Amino acid sequence: MTDTWLTSLITDTPQAGFELAITLSRRGVKYTQPDGEVLHKLRPEYSEDADALIAGSQVVATNFQTVAAANNYWR
């Protein structure tokens, strides 16, 4: 990928940090499957499947650990 999408892990608020964790999680998928059309077709498969939604939340939780540490937990 040649576009710039991540220049800093620092965010103003914990919520913005959580949303950055969402972005990181999606990018982790996109590097393996860059074709937006394929991803779009897969959407029902994961967005209406409890196991996939929980697994997705696990990825977000892991990335949120990184972002929260980077921001010294917004203390």
Contact set with a copy of itself (CB under 8 A): 1, 4-10, 13-15, 18-19, 22, 24-29, 31-33, 38, 42, 45-66, 68-70, 73-75
In angstroms, give the least distance from the CB of 57 to a copy of itself: 3
Q: How far is the CB of 34 from a copy of itself (least distance, A)?
A: 9
Instruction: Please answer whether residues 10 and 73 qualify as being in contact, where contact means their C-beta atoms are separated by less than 8 angstroms.
Output: no
| In the complex, least distance from residue 30 CB atom to a copy of itself, rounded to whole angstroms | 9
d(CA 31, CA 53): 20
Tokens of 21: 């964790």
Q: Residue 28 corresponds to which tokens in the numbers above?
A: 């982790």
